[in-house]
Structure formats: structure tokens, C-alpha cells
């Protein structure tokens, strides 16, 4: 396993990471990257064990419903780089037998890769979304055949890939990019049916980075994003060689969606858990600021907080149902029920903006106009701000202002914007979640219930739609 310090050293590997147009020579010199890098390093230290053969315990799959349930608070504490590493490795393990059915040589490759990734204590990020060009067309019908990542050359010892993957969280700070097809592929799209692990520093890989870390200003004004935000990247594969032992799918179009589907299983566990906690956090913030404003007993404020409570509890119910009905892969890895998880994510995503509105409605305009932390440092201003930002009944001005700053950072600035967008888009977007729900729902049961409720027989057999 790696210490935080060893992790830091491991990133000095010649990678081409760009930030605001600059090729970043030293990631730690760029504050927007250094902060999340430090958070990742901190977790390396937290989980470090010098014992021979030790691996990070969070990288093991849950083997029972109880282990699955116990995993949730652990996942909530991970940095996003470690979280996606977990998801990536689990995805490979679940996909292995399905791909092996048509390409038996692949299963041992996958197990070998996962073992060494655990042994070397790597951070592996998931690369799903392609550039896509015109998004209403399939890969083979694009103006630019590289709009989806594809194999453009073959050598005896591997393949050469070209294309780009978008929205890759933590790519700039990880070791390997786990490239997977974004969707099912059809015959004739064999070159697009490619899954493989690519080192971030492989020749031909270029990684941009966008950040939700405060670009400037006092970290105290950004109490959350200065600690928790993680850069997203576009990863460009400009004719990158991938050796055979790192190829996990190559041309098996019928299995192309296996990876995305497997990834979904694990991604949703973390994503849904996060959203459940996020909903409770918003309730808590609303209550704290209502109390600080002296408004916690005002009827319309309570009604809004009630709605936030009901929302948060519904989401928690969805997670509970997903855990109660957890299912196991053939290998015995437990994952939350698809249907309940999907529905919970959908509900969380569609209602999040309204919950933010309630919070802003309750808190007031000082969410964006409250004096900054540095203003409180100014000796002239401090007594005036303490006096005028105070909430009465002994609520200190600085405490109240710090609540406003936290609300702004979480919901009304760059990091809040990242949540607004990613809550909707993670896991494939709202429409994808509707499609999954439609597919999983037991419509035959619903139709039978409807006929029974209506006191009707089934539709005459001769009349069935084929």
C-alpha cells in the first residue's frame, strides 16, 4: 500500500494534465488541484497498512445484505477518487464472467488486473461518456468516426485507441483510466466495443481539468468546496497504445453494455447514499438558519422545512427498500435493488432544485450578501458586523454569517452549481433513469391489479398486441 507521500510522488509520472490552458508541471503547485490531491493523500494515510500483502479494506465487495448496509457510512467518508476506484474494481469483477462467456481469455486478465490494482493501491477512475458528436446518431453514423472511443490500429501485443471520454471525476489525480463503452454496440461497431485500463501518463493521453474549488478568495468563505470538491476532466486518447493484458473487451459488441450496466450497480449505491445524506443536510441547514434568524417557529417556515423533511425521508425510504431487497451477483457480491435505487435517484434529482429553493427562501438574501470571513478580521468592521449580523437571543453574528457562507458554497456558487448539474446527470441523466425504471417495473402485475380493481377480465386473447 502507499502512504500519502508515496501517492504524491506517484503522480509525478509525466502525465499531461492541463488547467486553464496550461500544461501543469507540478500538480501540487496548482491550488485547485493541490487541495483535492491532499484530500486523497489523507485517505492513503488513513487506510495505510505496512503489513505485507495488505490492501485497502474498502476495496472489497460486500458479501451479504448486512455488509452492504454497513458499507454505506464507509462510502460516505471516502474521497471521490477512492470511491470511484471502488466502483471501477467492482465493475470489473461483476463483468468478468459475462465477458468470459464469449471470450474466456479475458476473465483471468481482469482478475489479474484487479489484484495488482489492489496490491499497488492504485486509484482507478471510470471513463464512460464519449464525446458523442451529434448525440442523436450512433457511433458508426457520425461525421467524425472518433466521436466514440474506438480501436484505430492493432499490433501483436495490443491495440491503439482514439477518442475522448468526458466528465471523468478525479482523472487528473488517479493512476488508471478504466475505459468502457458507454452503451450497447451493434454488429458493425466492433471497433467501438473496447474496454481497457489506460495509465493516465500513457503517451497520447491528454487530460483537461475543470474545478469547483474556489479560484481565489478566502477558503473560509468556501468551507465545503475548499475541502471536498474534486476536479472533472475530459480525457483524450490521441492514438494510445494499450497492451493486451489491459484489454477487457475487444469487439464483442453483444457484451459492450455489460460494463456500463455493472458500473451502474455500484455507482448507484454511492450516488443514492450521498443524495439521501445531502437531503438531510439541507434540512439541517434550513433548521439551523431558521433558528439563527429567529424564525424557526414561524408557520410558513416550518411548512417549508416539513416539505424538506418529507423529501429527505422519502429518499431514505427508497434507500432502505433498495437495501432490504438487495440482490447478489452470481459471485455473491451484494448490490442494492436496481428499481428502488433508480427511482430514488430520480426523485432526488428532480426535487433537489426545489429543496434548494426552500433553503434559500428560508435563509434570506444574506446567503449571497453576508460579509466575508475576512471582513470579520478587519478590526474596524468586526464589532459592527458582530452587532448587525447577530440573530438576537445570543446568536453570534459570526456564527450566523458562517452559516450563510456555507449555504452559499453548497448551493449558490460554483460547487452548488456542480451539484445542481451532477445530481441530474449522474447515472445517465433523468431520461436514462426513466428508461431503466420502465424496464424494471413489473407491468404485468400492475395490469393484473388494474383488471382486478376494475372488475374486468383480461383482454380477449385474440386481441392481444403481439
| Closer of 22 and 330 to a copy of itself (Cβ) | 22
Alpha carbons 374 and 305: distance in angstroms, whole number:
31
Burial class (CB in 10 A: 0-12, 13-18, 19+), 67: middle
C-alpha cell at 160: 491503439
- Half-sphere exposure at residue 400, Cβ-oriented, CA atoms within 13 angstroms: 26
Nearer to a copy of itself, 154 or 447 (CB): 447
Q: Which residues contact 358 (CB under 8 A, 6 or more apart)?
A: 282, 286, 304, 305, 307, 308
CB of 171 to a copy of itself, least distance (A): 10
CB closer to a copy of itself out of 113 and 274: 274
Q: Which is nearer to a copy of itself, 50 or 216 (CB)?
A: 216
- Cβ atoms of 341 and 322 within 8 Å: the answer is yes
| For a copy of itself, the closer CB: 49 or 354 | 354
Q: Smallest gap, in angstroms, from Cβ of residue 369 to a copy of itself?
A: 4
From the list 418, 13, 41, the residue with the least C-alpha distance to 207 is 13
- What does the angle CA 189 – CA 194 – CA 197 come to, to the nearest 5 degrees? 165
Q: How far is the CB of 76 from a copy of itself (least distance, A)?
A: 10
Please give the Cα distance from 241 to 196 (Å, whole number): 11
CB of 221 to a copy of itself, least distance (A): 8
Q: Are strands 205-207 and 194-199 parallel, antiparallel or unpaired?
A: unpaired
Q: How far is the CB of 119 from a copy of itself (least distance, A)?
A: 31
Shortest separation between residue 55's beta carbon and a copy of itself, angstroms: 28
- Residue 17: what are its φ and ψ, rounded to 5°? -105, 130
Residue 181 CB, shortest distance to a copy of itself, in Å, is 17
Please identify, using beta-carbon distances, which residue of 188 and 217 lies nearer to a copy of itself.
217
Give the nearest distance from C-beta 459 to a copy of itself in angstroms: 5
- Which secondary structure element, helix H or strand E, spans residue 240, and what is its range? strand 232-243
For residue 4, with 0-12 CB atoms within 10 Å meaning exposed, 13-18 middle and 19 or more buried, which class applies? middle
Q: Which is nearer to a copy of itself, 116 or 378 (CB)?
A: 378
In the complex with a copy of itself, the residue whose CB is nearer, 201 or 372, is 372
Amino acid at each position: 500500500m502507499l502512504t500519502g507521500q508515496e501517492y504524491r510522488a506517484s503522480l509525478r509520472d509525466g502525465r499531461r494534465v492541463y488547467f486553464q490552458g496550461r500544461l501543469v508541471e507540478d500538480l501540487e503547485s496548482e491550488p485547485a488541484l493541490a487541495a483535492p490531491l491532499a484530500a486523497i493523500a489523507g485517505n492513503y494515510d488513513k487506510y495505510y497498512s505496512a503489513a505485507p500483502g495488505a490492501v485497502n479494506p474498502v476495496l472489497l465487495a460486500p458479501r451479504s445484505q448486512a455488509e452492504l448496509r454497513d458499507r454505506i457510512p464507509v462510502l460516505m467518508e471516502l474521497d471521490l477518487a477512492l470511491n470511484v476506484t471502488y466502483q471501477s474494481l467492482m465493475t470489473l469483477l461483476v463483468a468478468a464472467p459475462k465477458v468470459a462467456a464469449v471470450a474466456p481469455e479475458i476473465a483471468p486478465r481482469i482478475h489479474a488486473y484487479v489484484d495488482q490494482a489492489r496490491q499497488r493501491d492504485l486509484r482507478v477512475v471510470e471513463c464512460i461518456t464519449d464525446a458523442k458528436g451529434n448525440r442523436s446518431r450512433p457511433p458508426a453514423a457520425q461525421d467524425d468516426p472518433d466521436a466514440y472511443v474506438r480501436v484505430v490500429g492493432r499490433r501483436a501485443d495490443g491495440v491503439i485507441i482514439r477518442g475522448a471520454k468526458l466528465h471523468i471525476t478525479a482523472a487528473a489525480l488517479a493512476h488508471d483510466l478504466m475505459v468502457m463503452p458507454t452503451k450497447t454496440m451493434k454488429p458493425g461497431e466492433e471497433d467501438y466495443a473496447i474496454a481497457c485500463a489506460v495509465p493516465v501518463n500513457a503517451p497520447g493521453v491528454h487530460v483537461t481539468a475543470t474545478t469547483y474549488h474556489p479560484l481565489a478568495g478566502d477558503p473560509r468563505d468556501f468551507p465545503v468546496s475548499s475541502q471536498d470538491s474534486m476536479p472533472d476532466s475530459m480525457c483524450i486518447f490521441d492514438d494510445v497504445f494499450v497492451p493486451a493484458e489491459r484489454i477487457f473487451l475487444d469487439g464483442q459488441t453483444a457484451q459492450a453494455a455489460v460494463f456500463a450496466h455493472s458500473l451502474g450497480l455500484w455507482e448507484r449505491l454511492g450516488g443514492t447514499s450521498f443524495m439521501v445524506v445531502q437531503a438531510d443536510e439541507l434540512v439541517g441547514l434550513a433548521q439551523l438558519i431558521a433558528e439563527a434568524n429567529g424564525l424557526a417557529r414561524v408557520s410558513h417556515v416550518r411548512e417549508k422545512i416539513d416539505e424538506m423533511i418529507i423529501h429527505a425521508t422519502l429518499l431514505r425510504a427508497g434507500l432502505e427498500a433498495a437495501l432490504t431487497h438487495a440482490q447478489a451477483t452470481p459471485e455473491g457480491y451484494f448490490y442494492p435493488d436496481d428499481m428502488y435505487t433508480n427511482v430514488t435517484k430520480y426523485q432526488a434529482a428532480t426535487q433537489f432544485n426545489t429543496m434548494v429553493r426552500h433553503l434559500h427562501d428560508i435563509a434570506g438574501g444574506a446567503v449571497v450578501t453576508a460579509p466575508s470571513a475576512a471582513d470579520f478580521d478587519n478590526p474596524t468592521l468586526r464589532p459592527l458586523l458582530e452587532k448587525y449580523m447577530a440573530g438576537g437571543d445570543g446568536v453570534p453574528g459570526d456564527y450566523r454569517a458562517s452559516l450563510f457562507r456555507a449555504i452559499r458554497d453548497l448551493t449558490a456558487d460554483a460547487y452548488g452549481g456542480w451539484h445542481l448539474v451532477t445530481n441530474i446527470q449522474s447515472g445517465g441523466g433523468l431520461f436514462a433513469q426513466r428508461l431503466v425504471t420502465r424496464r424494471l417495473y413489473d407491468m404485468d402485475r400492475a395490469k393484473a391489479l388494474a383488471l382486478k380493481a376494475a372488475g374486468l377480465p383480461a383482454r380477449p386473447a385474440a386481441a392481444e398486441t403481439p
